[in-house]
Amino acid sequence: MNIAEPEQGGAPFDRRKFLSNAGKGIGLMALSSSVVASLVGDVKAAVRAVEHLTPAAAAADEDFWAVIQQAFSVTRGIINLNNGGVSPSPRIVTEAFVRYTWQQEDATAYTMWRILEPQSETVRTGLAEVFGCDSEEIAITRNASESLEILLMGLDLKSGDEIIANTQDYPRMLTTLRQRELREGLKLKLIKIPIAPNNADDIAAAYERAITPRTKLLLISHQVNITGQITPTRKVCEMARARGIETIVDGAHAFAQFAFKRDDLQCDYYGTSLHKWLYAPKGTGLLYVKKDKIPKVWPLMAAEDKQKTDIRKFEEIGTHSAAMRLAIGEAVLFHNAIGAKRKEERLRYLSRYWMNRLKEVPKVGFNTSFDASQSCAIANFKVEGVDPVKLGEHLMSKHKIFTTPIVHPEFTGIRITPNVYTALWELDRFCSVVEDVARKGLPAA
């Protein structure tokens, strides 16, 4: 539904007037309950104790991170090292989501469409501030897949046009491109990129070698989901732009994991999930479309022609809950309260904590670079001679350690993704089990 024209009648919602009255970003706190404000206050109080430290130094301050750990209501009966697919939300987000859900149950058609849904404009502004772009370039979607499919299906391409992607890109995106290839005669060119390269420029070089005069579009993952490899996205985007080629960046895992802004990427389009590293409600995502390119992208679900230049045309999905969208605001509050760079350094600190312990263990190897510019929270390791699927089953069934086995045509391993709520003793326990398996192998069934 177009929130500018409520389906149930009444005066149209004046989005620009609302934003003017709310003030830039102020609405995010204004929409928060006293409970949420108190929980955010606890985080801000903890931050004051480490403000004098560099983000790298604050990353090792366990007293500070103990406060952050307590902001989550996660079980300690399972050691969750699979935060890459979807992450738990802090209590402030869950509390807000439940509160908004109850609120929209009261006179639903009026409350949801006339009171709650218009307030998502302030959330849009908050997301734009995090990404570093105009709020009129941000659409709120349900996940990275929806954001990226809007782009991959919505750009006008003709038979014979070439699209470049790589073999480690997310399978759903490759499936989408293969469908267009079958239906419309487009040409999907898949390249291979090096695994844990000594120099990330080797990745950019692989894209450059693949470009031909027929290349019209390039898809690149900001961070490869199966290895945690951070790609030289800006270099690839600038190289493509110089050749008149558009770029779509799959940011499913990068957004809110490590600090960056739109201008650091120089991409035309960006899609991400918000229920990963931003800790927003499950089923929330973000789509960025450069303002002058909005008219040329067809929405996935039809929108009226008068919306041609409006970023909201990509949100035309029919009836949907306002609660999830509004609770994104509390996720932004939590993210900003910790500090993007402080959070990045803690996530990298946690990954290097277990990686450095295991790197000297015989038979243990890595599919992820230790270079700080090439990886952050996500890393992939392997144990020589041990099936990663069976190792993953052993970790979970015997030790209640949840991980992500990866079996790819080019490599195998286990993806490990700790999070800000992860305790060091949990990583110690994980490392001890892996060390035991590396020495003795998996126990007999």
The dihedrals phi and psi of 143, each to the nearest 5 degrees, come to: 180, 175
What pLDDT is attached to residue 33? 62
> 1-10, 66-75, 194-203: which range is least confident on average?
1-10
DSSP labels for 330-351? Answer: HHHHHHHHH-HHHHHHHHHHHH
Copy the structure tokens of residue 221: 């993952």
The full DSSP string for 46-82 is: HHHTTTTS-HHHHTT-HHHHHHHHHTB---SSSEE-B
**What number is the average pLDDT over the span 32-40?**
68
The average pLDDT across 150-176 equals 97
Tell me the pTM: 0.91
CA dihedral 134, 137, 140, 142 (to 10 degrees): -140
Asked whether the domain spanning 341-437 has the same topology as the one spanning 119-334, the reply is no
**Does 1 or 194 have the greater pLDDT score?**
194
Cα first-last separation, the chain: 55
The helix or strand, by DSSP H or E, that contains position 156, with its residue range, turns out to be none
Instruction: Give the pLDDT band (50/70/90) at residue 30.
Output: very low
Give me the mean pLDDT over the 120-132 stretch: 97
Average pLDDT of 99-114? 93
137: Cβ contacts below 8 Å, ≥ 6 apart:
128, 288, 289, 290, 291, 294, 311
Q: Tell me: pLDDT of 12 over 60.
A: no
pLDDT tier for residue 27 given thresholds of 50, 70 and 90: very low
Q: Is residue 35 very low, low, confident or very high in pLDDT (cuts 50, 70, 90)?
A: low
Q: Is the pLDDT reported for residue 9 higher than 50?
A: no
Lowest mean pLDDT, pick from 8-12, 148-152, 194-198, 340-344: 8-12
- Please write the tens of the pLDDT for every residue from 44-60: 899 999 999 999 999 99
Strand partners, 220: 249
Domain map (residue ranges) of the chain: 119-334, 341-437
pLDDT at 444: 85
Q: How far apart are CA 185 and CA 197, in angstroms?
A: 34
pLDDT value of residue 21: 41
Token readout for 290 is 């450069």
CA angle 309, 145, 400 (to 5 degrees): 150
Q: Write the pLDDT tens digit of every residue in 241-273.
A: 999 999 999 999 999 999 999 999 999 999 999
Q: Rounded distance, CA 303 to CA 315, Å?
A: 9
Q: Largest Cα–Cα distance in the chain?
A: 72
Average model confidence (pLDDT) across the chain: 92
Q: Please tell me the CATH code under which domain 119-334 is placed.
A: 3.40.640.10
pLDDT of residue 20: 40
The answer to whether 166 touches 315, Cβ cutoff 8 Å, is no
Of 3-12, 42-51, 108-117, the least confident: 3-12
State pLDDT tens for residues 72-94. Answer: 999 999 999 999 999 999 999 99
pLDDT value at position 2? Answer: 36
Task: Please report the pLDDT score of residue 44 as a whole number.
Answer: 86
DSSP string, 172-186: HHHHHHHHHHHHH--
Q: Does position 428 have pLDDT exceeding 50, yes or no?
A: yes
Average pLDDT over residues 33-39: 69
- Give yes or no for residue 156 having a pLDDT over 90: yes
CATH architecture assigned to 341-437: Alpha-Beta Complex (3.90)
In the predicted model, is pLDDT for residue 11 greater than 90?
A: no
User: What phi and psi, each to the nearest 5 degrees, are found at residue 311?
Assistant: -60, -25
Cα separation, 314 vs 67, whole angstroms: 38
pLDDT in the model for residue 23: 36
Confidence at residue 38, expressed as pLDDT on a 0 to 100 scale:
75
What percent of the chain is predicted at pLDDT more than 70?
A: 92
Q: Is a pLDDT exceeding 70 seen at residue 31? A: no
pLDDT of residue 40: 77
Between CA 339 and CA 123 the distance in angstroms is 18
Band (pLDDT 50/70/90 cuts) for residue 404 is very high
